[in-house]
Amino acid sequence: MSGQVEFLRGEFQLIDWVRQRSASYPQVPVGIGDDAALLSPTSGEEVIVTTDMLMDGRHFIVGQTPPELIGRKSLAVNLSDIAAMGGRPIAAFISWALPRHQGRDLAESLFTGMAGLAREFDVSIAGGDTNSWDGPLVINVTVVGETIGQRRILRSGAQPGDVIFVTGPLGGSLAGRHLTFTPRISEAIDLVQRVRLNAMLDLSDGVASDLRHILNQSRVGATLDARSIPIHTDVDRHLPHREQLRKALTDGEDFELLFTVSGSDAEQLLANPPPGWKPIQIGNIDGELGCRIRTEKGIEPLPTGGWEHPLD
């Protein structure tokens, strides 16, 4: 690196290309082009930060998945985390390690997918880090957002007696929906404006796994109602019903929100749902630790069956 006098313009040109295609927003007075970006969050709100890294061969396969959808997903999973905090996104920061010999074309397609989703949610692409190498594609996206006036919405606030809801049907996402899902930003804002959310998260590993984060951090238990679990049409209807249910609870990558509210807020939400969508009640928080499910056979422990990335 030292003393090299060549002009290797590739990265600067790509950064210019990206900058020209990045919309500007008043909350991001300084975006791409300085040492760092400057954001102006709304006074009095807290700043939300989340980051996700996606790798070729692990989260997608270059050559099998259209790069626009890879780019889109790398932003979408972060927007989903902002939604899970009941906030709205402001700016995204894209770092990528691009395979050297397809870097520019791949980068443009990835960026096109990101930029389309960013525009839908008024998110500024405000910075990042562009590298090329001989390894596989790696994309890291950080999204910075802000809260919208409610008290903090964490995983630790669920109370016995709360009703558990999800924002949409579950299961079968890996058939394709995991690449094209809509992050539930507007649904989160609808909820924050209507009720007091005691706990919320976005479903990445499946209800059976993710709900446990709320139960553990809130020191409560839950009983789900099998008949109420909304099974997505992406789940094969030819499977036995119990297998469909298992898939809805464990497939993961749903990116729907799961949240808990008091009984009275639940009644209000069901009586006056937000315009255009309706939360789906799937069970209750109770004081007895552990996670159970009520089926036609009675109440039984809920198999976790979520997946976690190995690290050995």
- Please choose, out of 67-75, 133-141, 159-167, 272-280, the segment that lies near its own copies by the rule CB under 8 A: 133-141
Cα–Cα distance list, 160 to 80, 153, 198 (Å): 26, 17, 11
User: Smaller CB distance to its own copies: residue 97 or 293?
Assistant: 97
Instruction: With H, G, I as helix, E, B as strand and everything else as coil, classify residue 231.
Output: strand
**Residue 136 is a binding residue for its own copies (CB under 8 A):** yes
Separation between Cα atoms, residue 92 and residue 37, nearest integer Å: 10
**Residue 191 is a binding residue for its own copies (CB under 8 A):** no
- Binding track over 84-123 against its own copies, x by CB under 8 A: xx-x---x-x-xxxx-xx-xx-------------------
- Please choose, out of 6-14, 160-168, 267-275, 283-291, the segment that lies near its own copies by the rule CB under 8 A: 6-14
**Residue 14 is a binding residue for its own copies (CB under 8 A):** yes
Which of 20, 26, 43, 240 forms a contact with its own copies (CB under 8 A)?
Answer: 43
In this structure, how many other beta carbons lie within 10 angstroms of the beta carbon of residue 169? 18
Reference 91, options 140, 45, 33, 23; nearest CA is 23
Which of 190, 247, 265, 282 forms a contact with its own copies (CB under 8 A)?
Answer: 247
- H-helix or E-strand containing 263? helix 263-271
Q: For residue 219, is it left (φ>0), alpha (ψ between -120 and 50) or beta?
A: left
**Residue 124 is a binding residue for its own copies (CB under 8 A):** no
The answer to whether the beta carbons of residues 171 and 217 sit under 8 Å apart is no
- Binding track over 166-185 against its own copies, x by CB under 8 A: --------x-----------
Q: How far is the CB of 161 from its own copies (least distance, A)?
A: 22
**Residue 11 is a binding residue for its own copies (CB under 8 A):** yes
Size of the site for its own copies (CB under 8 A): 94
User: Smaller CB distance to its own copies: residue 52 or 162?
Assistant: 52
- Contact positions with its own copies (CB under 8 A) in 255-274: none
The answer to whether the beta carbons of residues 215 and 221 sit under 8 Å apart is yes
33, amino acid identity: G
Which of 3, 63, 240, 301 forms a contact with its own copies (CB under 8 A)?
Answer: 3
Q: What residues contact 110, with CB distance under 8 A and at least 6 apart? A: 67, 68, 70, 71, 74, 96, 139
Separation between Cα atoms, residue 285 and residue 92, nearest integer Å: 35
**Residue 235 is a binding residue for its own copies (CB under 8 A):** no
- Contact positions with its own copies (CB under 8 A) in 48-87: 48-53, 55, 57-58, 81-82, 84-85, 87
Separation between Cα atoms, residue 109 and residue 223, nearest integer Å: 44
Residue with tokens 């997946």, as numbered in its chain: 307
Q: How far is the CB of 56 from its own copies (least distance, A)?
A: 8
Which of 75, 125, 144, 285 forms a contact with its own copies (CB under 8 A)?
Answer: 144
